[in-house]
Structure 1
Amino acid sequence: MCLTAHFIDDDWQYHKRILNFRQVPNHKGETIGKVVESLLLSWGIDKIFTLTVDNATYNSGTVTYLDRITKEWGASILGGEFAHEMLCTHCEPYCDGRYDKFKACVEKVKIASKGCVCLDVPIRWNSTYMMLENAEKFQRAFERLRVNDAQYIHYFFDDGNGKKILGPPDFEDWDNVKVFVKFLKLFYEVTLRFFGSLYVTSNVFFHELCVMKIELTNLCESEDPLLSMMAKDMHEKFDKYWGDIEKLNLMMFVAIVLDPRYKLRFLNFWFTKWNPRAVAKNMTKKVKKTFVRMYEYYCDCDGYSNGQGQDGSSSNNVETRPVQDPHALVKSICKMHLAADSLESKLEVERYLVDCVEEDSPNFCILNWWKVNSSKYRLLLKVARDVLAIPLSTVAFESACSTRGRVLDPF
């Protein structure tokens, strides 16, 4: 098991740190939860904002255990309420063993690509797309191999266990490969953006869902029967996993609100477009309420709840000398606190939401924007720092052990 921490520092730089690797005796949720707990305590970490895990069944038990433990610690944001989890042609094996003959065919048909075919890896999410995308470039080489190499045909007689294989790919198969590549490219590109580990990803999740839903809807109406069939099947799975927005972690939507290019209006538009008006209205209210609750939590932590500003100075200007009427003092302190709370807390949230959205551009950096505007939103930036640090996927962490590139040093 690999445990990593993600955070944004005071200079608004995004960081990922591997805390530890640890063998687990079994894959029971509570067992893994106890291991995670011990690792956190060894690092002196007593707060978990969110926990990103994969969709293995045992992880539900892990999250339940950690949710209970962190509530006992009493230090998690909003009581840990949002700390829950937030995913084949047969010719390539032949070429893998007979590379020289295949390379000769590539040269004969004058294919200029410097790459080469790659094998499908069942446990890697992107390997099917990469395999087919590479194979398509070498279609003419495979066709030449079929003519020049008798062993190529013989390879497809059986699978080594006496079971007959369908044969080498023909023209119809290659047409189907083109369809598959077109279909899988959408998910490949979206997944790449989801699985980034060196930049902020929490504020792109909803946009990618929108792109996928629109593309799947369009592909369902494709005139190509194979493409349409795959799209309808995928659309059904998409709706099963992402369709009920009320079951998704609200922090993922708060991240969109904290993107100054979109804010709450962007969410409300797409909620309304894809859901009944009542559902959309309710979800928009839920997201805004969670956003405000997060802000109020940081206000309390920062001292505004007891009339203290960020510098520790009194914000109510009530004299501390003795007064004749203590009841009047109590009323005055309360009145001043409510006024300060309204000005310093709620107005900052409302001001952010009603301010004009920023113009989108290819070079826009959300962390740099918050850094520049830190004096304008003194407390709201603390919400942004924690929410924007949430990673969307665990896959990038697991790739630390990938043989495709060394990430860890020998130690």
Structure 2
Amino acid sequence: MLEHACKFEKAFDLFEVRDPFYKVELGNTPDCVDWKNGKKMCQVLKTFYELTVKISGSLYVTSNAFFLEIAQMLVLLKGWVRGSALDVRPMGLKMKEKFDKYWGDPTKMNKFIFFALVVDPRYKFKFLKFMLEESYGNEIGTSLAASVKDELYALYDEYKALYQPSNDHSIEVESSSQQEHDTPYLLVDKYEKQIMLEGDDVANDLDVYLNEKERKVPNVKNFDLLTWWKVNEPRLPILAKLARDVLSVPVSTVASESAFSTGGRVLDPFRSSLNPTMVESLICAQDWLRMGKDPIKVEEDLESIRKHEEALKILGVGVVINEESNQAV
């Protein structure tokens, strides 16, 4: 509202000059000081607006950007507190106090918001450590970064125990094949079994991922994180499963509330016999159709709709004839 209002500053000034009843009818009217404060407030609130829109999305991953936005907001509030502008500093102090109530102690934060940033190939662990040190000081940042790394490796070990292929089957095959003297033991099979047995000595997915350089993404703004992990899943199979589970956690309740609202419109008192599977299918299909770039224009498809209706009528007549002749369709 402020952004649109500031565009009409000159229009209000001209209106005051041409209409003698301008101030009489409107009462309090904005002067030059009000317009200046409005523009400054618009710049302040724009940061919060962009942050809210970014983390409230429901068609893309939001968990990887959450802590990055928190750190940037902390740096911004610190700048307002230290700034020389007297009109911004009191507001910055109050906002910094509210910020510290929820995000002042990083040790109380859920570690998943840190994990989500680490599994983003544009940032990884080095960037997380840098942000923690810049936001909360070197001592707290370094200690927290080490704690996050230890817990991430512990979580990876749990996924490794669940999804790493077992070597028991290969050992059984080897023992059974040795008992059959008449069956030649192929050298290739023996080599593959040896590689499987030595799998524990090879560096795990997490080590490979953290030690490689950050991969440059051509278009960072439209970067699809889930597609990146889908492409790199053959190279990092266990870590890809962990990343998908971590990134699936939304940081806002907007998506859940939107799903309930959409469900209420799909399942109404006049259409209440749909089963849960059909309701889920309708909601998902609606999202997929809305994601399309080309809008649906019914006016351009009237001919195809007419042909479809004629086909349905013909099908209905055919069913009646078959029913009268007691023949199954």
TM-score bucket of the superposed structures, by smaller chain: 0.5 to 0.7
> Match of 1:281?
142
> Match of 2:128?
267
Cα 1:295/1:355, change in 2 over 3 Å: same
Q: Which residue, 91, 105, 108 being the options, matches 1:244?
A: 105
Q: CA deviation at 1:135?
A: 1.4
Cα distance in 1, alignment partners of residues 251 and 73 from structure 2: 16
Cα distance in 2, alignment partners of residues 136 and 270 from structure 1: 35
Q: CA deviation at 1:252?
A: 0.7
Say if 2:213 is the partner of 1:342: no
Query: Is the Cα–Cα contact under 8 Å of residues 83 and 89 in structure 2 kept in the other structure?
Result: yes
Instruction: Compare CA radii of gyration and give the structure with the larger one.
Output: 2
Q: Which residue, 313, 319, 331 being the options, matches 2:175?
A: 319
How does 1:7-406 map onto structure 2 within 5 Å?
Answer: 131-146=1-16, 148=19, 150=21, 153-156=24-27, 167-302=28-163, 304=165, 307=167, 313-314=169-170, 319=175, 342-343=200-201, 347-360=204-217, 361-362=219-220, 363-398=222-257
Q: CA deviation at 1:298?
A: 2.2
Cα 1:149/1:198, change in 2 over 3 Å: farther
Q: Unaligned 5+ residue runs, structure 2?
A: 180-193, 269-329
> Match of 2:291?
none
Q: CA deviation at 1:236?
A: 2.5
Give the TM-score, by structure 1 length.
Answer: 0.53
Cα distance in 1, alignment partners of residues 243 and 225 from structure 2: 10
Cα distance in 2, alignment partners of residues 231 and 388 from structure 1: 32
Cα distance in 2, alignment partners of residues 168 and 315 from structure 1: 86
Cα distance in 2, alignment partners of residues 262 and 180 from structure 1: 32
Query: Is the Cα–Cα contact under 8 Å of residues 233 and 240 in structure 2 kept in the other structure?
Result: yes
Q: Deviations over 1:114-155 (max 9, x none)?
A: xxxxxxxxxxxxxxxxx2112111223334455527376445
Cα 1:235/1:255, change in 2 over 3 Å: same
Q: CA RMSD in A?
A: 3.5
The one-letter amino acid of 1:150's match is F
The one-letter amino acid of 1:193's match is K
The one-letter amino acid of 2:112's match is M
Q: Deviations over 1:321-377 (max 9, x none)?
A: 999xxxxxxxxxxxx9x9657347x62221111111112442432222111111101
Aligned length: 251
Cα distance in 2, alignment partners of residues 374 and 302 from structure 1: 13
Cα distance in 2, alignment partners of residues 264 and 410 from structure 1: 45
Q: CA deviation at 1:380?
A: 0.9
Cα distance in 1, alignment partners of residues 259 and 26 from structure 2: 36
Q: Deviations over 1:219-270 (max 9, x none)?
A: 3343432123222322232222212111111011001110112111111122
Query: Is the Cα–Cα contact under 8 Å of residues 63 and 250 in structure 2 kept in the other structure?
Result: yes
Query: Is the Cα–Cα contact under 8 Å of residues 400 and 408 in structure 1 kept in the other structure?
Result: no
> Match of 1:80?
none
Between stretches 246-255 and 141-150, larger displacement belongs to: 141-150
Q: Deviations over 1:362-395 (max 9, x none)?
A: 2432222111111101111101111111111113
Cα distance in 1, alignment partners of residues 9 and 260 from structure 2: 33
Q: Give the helix-richer structure, 1 or 2.
A: 2
SS of the residue corresponding to residue 6 of structure 2 reads helix
Cα 1:367/1:410, change in 2 over 3 Å: same
Q: Deviations over 1:266-313 (max 9, x none)?
A: 111222233344432332222222222322222232254x546xxxx4
Cα distance in 1, alignment partners of residues 173 and 134 from structure 2: 49
Give the TM-score, by structure 2 length.
Answer: 0.65
Cα distance in 2, alignment partners of residues 176 and 315 from structure 1: 76
The one-letter amino acid of 1:260's match is P
- Give % identity: 36
